[in-house]
Amino acid sequence: MSTPADASADLNFRAELPERNDVPIGCIGAGFIMADCHLVAYREAGFNPVAITSRNRSTAQAVADRYAIPKVYDHYEELLADPAIEVVDIAVPPDIQLDVVKAAVRQAGHLKGILAQKPLGVDHAQAVEIVRLCKDAGITLAVNQNMRYDQSIRACRHLLDRGDLGEPVFASIDMRAIPHWMPWQERLGWVTLRIMSIHHLDTFRFLFGDPTRVFCSVRKDPRTAKKFDHDDGICLYILEYENGLRASSWDDVWTGPALEGSESDIGINWRVEGTEGLAKGTIGWPSYPDRTPSTLDFTTTRHPGRWFQPRWQDVWFPDAFVGPMAQLLVALETNTEPEISGQENLGTMALVEACYRSVAEHRAVEIAEICEE
C-alpha cells in the first residue's frame, strides 16, 4: 500500500514510446488537427514524418515547410504508393476516410500501419468495413482517440487499476465549451455526438469497459443552428453498466451567450466516485491555444482525510497526440494489437450509434443491438 507521501508520485500517465522512432510516416491531411496537433506532438517525440499531402497542395507545402517534411504529394494515392512510407496518418473528414483506406490497403506490401482519425468513418457499419479491409490486408489499424492520453484521464485509470478508488459507483463529465467546428460538418449535418461526445464516450469505455445500454437526449445548439441545420447540438446521455455503475455526460456547446456579449463560464470537469475513493479533474482543452494542463485531485480511504493533487505540465492539445501514434509504433515493433486498435474502437463507434438511435426512438438502446447488425 502507498504511503501518504508517495500516493500520487508513481501515477503512470504517459504513453509507452517505441524503441524505434524513425519509422517513415506519411501524413494525409494538412488541416488544423494535423498541422497544430499531430505534427507538433510528433516533432516533440522525435517521430519521423517524411511526406504529406492535402486536397490543396499549397496548404500541404506550407505545413511541410513549417515542419521540414521533405516530400509533398498532390494526391494521397501518390503518397500511398511511396515505397519508403511504412505508416500512414490519416486526418481527413470521416466521409472520405473509407476511400483513403481502400487505396491504402492496395499498398499493403510496404505499408504496415494506419492511424485513422476519429470517428472511424461515418457510422458503425463503415467502421466495421474499415477494420475488415485492414485486417484482410495485414495492416495494423489504430484510431486517434486521443482523450485517452490526456494526463488526468490516464492517471485516473491508474488509480482504478491500483484499487485506490475501489469499485466504481458513479462517473460524470460536465463539458461547457464552444468547439471550433470543421467546415465539413455542415455537409454531414453533425455537431457534437460524433465530434466531441465521442471523446467522452470513449473515455468512459477506457476507464470502465463497455456499458450495457445508453439513453441519449439532444437539442439544437442555437449558435450553430444559424449556420446549418443539425440535431445533435447539446447532448446529454447516461450509460448503464451491468454491475450497477452509472456514467453520464452533459456536452453543452452553447454554454450561454458567451460569444454574443455575456460573460463566459467555460470548462470541462470530470468526476469518478468509487466505494473506496473519489477522483475529480479538469480538462484544459477549452483554453487552447493557451497551455492549460489538465488536473487531477483524488482522495482514498487508504489514506483517510487527505486530498492528493499531483500536477504535470502536459496538455491534451497537442501533447496527448503522441500517445496514439506511439501505441501504433509499439504494436508494430511487438507484433501486438494497439490499445486503440480499430477492432477495439468498434465498441466506441457502436456506442455513438446507439446514442443516435436512442435520440431517434426516445428509448434506452442496448449496445448489442448495434453490434449484432
- The series of mean pLDDT values per 10 residues for the chain, 373 residues long, is 58 91 97 96 97 97 98 98 98 97 95 98 98 98 97 96 97 96 92 97 98 98 95 97 98 96 96 98 93 96 95 94 97 96 98 98 98 86
Q: Tell whether the torsion through CA atoms of 354, 355, 356 and 359 is positive or negative.
A: positive
Residue 238 backbone dihedrals phi, psi, to 5 degrees:
-125, 130
Cβ pair 219, 233 in contact under 8 A: yes
> Interhelix angle for 94-105 vs 124-137, to 10°?
20
How far is residue 268's CA from residue 281's CA, in Å, rounded to a whole number?
8
User: For residue 56, which phi and psi values (nearest 5 degrees)?
Assistant: -115, 115
297 DSSP β-pair partners: 280
Question: Residue 316 in 3-state DSSP?
Answer: coil
Structural domains of the chain sorted by starting position, each given as residue range(s) with its CATH number in brackets: 24-146+326-338 (3.40.50.720), 148-322+348-368 (3.30.360.10)
Sheet containing 87-90: order of strands: 71-73, 48-53, 24-28, 87-90, 113-116, 140-143
Beta partners for residue 299, in sequence order: 278
- Phi, psi torsion values for 283, nearest 5 degrees: -110, 125
Around Cβ 98, how many Cβ atoms within 10 Å? 18
Candidates 223, 231, 266, 273; CA nearest to 248 is 273
The DSSP bridge partners found for residue 219 are 234
Instruction: Quote the pTM value.
Output: 0.96
Closest CA to 143 of 311, 342, 371, 339: 342
Q: Give CA–CA dist 156/11, Å, rounded.
A: 9
HSE (side-chain half, CA atoms, 13 Å) at 43: 13
Contact (Cβ atoms closer than 8 angstroms) between residue 284 and residue 147 = no
- Residue 214 near residue 240, CB atoms below 8 Å: yes
Half-sphere exposure of 52 (CA within 13 A, CB side): 26
